[in-house]
């Protein structure tokens, strides 16, 4: 597998790059359980704002699902292209999150009729990301203030939690839209929580 540290993997992704990656993830060549682009963005975000860095060779296989299936690439060139796009997305997110003045922007889908953001896939990807090292995340979950901060993401991703909200009369389309809007503030706070505890240098300004 390519290394995320390779210089060419720091090139900013274009819209065409993202479309190519999204199309492959949802194609027949990808395993049925493969993440879609929004889920992948949430998953990678969790890797980058969490309590510890997980090497790419440990999390990469999760992109294709939990049952061990691998994509059916048409060629080695396609394999390198798609894997490179995933690592470029990771690096691009890393750069965005390393600069405190950058506004975080999740990749979420939009309902064509209502124009509202659909954040369930992104939130599910984020929770999958936290499941890579749940013990390390527990410190945040045990902190009442920060547990409430993460709560909307967890509920949005959880079928039972969504059903409970819906039974209480919550408009789930509106809820997902509100969660998507709140991620702009939630993700930097999660990032800063772990930065304070890891004792790493403060972010660039």
* Structural domain includes residue 22: yes
Handedness of CA 204, 43, 173, 192 (dihedral sign): negative
Asked whether residue 147 is domain-assigned, the answer is yes
Domain count, the chain: 1
Q: Is the Cα torsion angle 55, 90, 81, 74 positive or negative in sign?
A: positive
Q: Specify the CATH number for the domain of residue 21.
A: 1.20.120.740
18 lies in a domain?
A: yes
Packing angle between helix 144-157 and helix 120-130, nearest 10 degrees?
120
Distances (CA, A) of 49 to 72, 76, 92, 116, 140: 31, 32, 13, 26, 12
Residue 2 lies in a domain: no
Per-residue pLDDT of the chain (205 residues; tens, 9 = 90+): 555 556 678 888 999 999 999 999 999 999 999 999 999 999 999 999 999 989 999 999 999 998 889 999 999 999 999 999 999 999 999 999 987 676 789 999 999 989 999 999 999 999 999 999 999 999 999 999 999 999 999 999 999 999 999 899 888 999 999 999 999 999 999 999 999 987 654 443 3
Q: Which two tokens mark 150?
A: 């993460």
Tell me whether residue 205 is in a domain.
no
Q: Is the CB of residue 19 less than 8 Å from the CB of residue 107?
A: no
pLDDT for the residue 177: 95
Give the pLDDT of residue 26.
98
State residue 104's pLDDT score: 83
Range of the domain at 191: 7-198
Q: What are phi and psi of 82, to 5 degrees?
A: -70, -45
- Tell me the pTM: 0.91
């Amino acid at each position: 597998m390519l290394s995320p540290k390779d210089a060419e993997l720091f090139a900013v992704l274009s819209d065409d790059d993202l479309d190519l990656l999204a199309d492959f993830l949802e194609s027949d060549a990808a395993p049925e359980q493969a993440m879609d682009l929004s889920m992948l963005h949430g998953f990678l975000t969790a890797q980058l704002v969490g309590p510890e860095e997980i090497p790419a060779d440990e999390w990469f296989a999760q992109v294709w699902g939990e049952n061990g299936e691998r994509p059916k690439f048409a060629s080695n060139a396609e394999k390198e292209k798609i894997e490179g796009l995933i690592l470029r997305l990771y690096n691009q997110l890393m750069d965005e999150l390393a600069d405190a003045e950058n506004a975080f922007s999740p990749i979420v889908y939009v309902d064509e009729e209502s124009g509202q953001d659909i954040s369930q896939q992104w939130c599910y990807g984020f929770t999958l990301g936290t499941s890579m090292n749940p013990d390390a995340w527990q410190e945040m979950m045990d902190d009442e203030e920060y547990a409430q901060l993460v709560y909307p993401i967890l509920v949005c991703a959880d079928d039972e939690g969504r059903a409970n909200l819906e039974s209480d009369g919550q408009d789930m389309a509106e809820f997902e839209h509100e969660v998507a809007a709140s991620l702009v503030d939630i993700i930097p706070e999660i990032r800063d929580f772990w930065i304070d505890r890891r004792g790493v240098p403060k972010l660039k300004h």
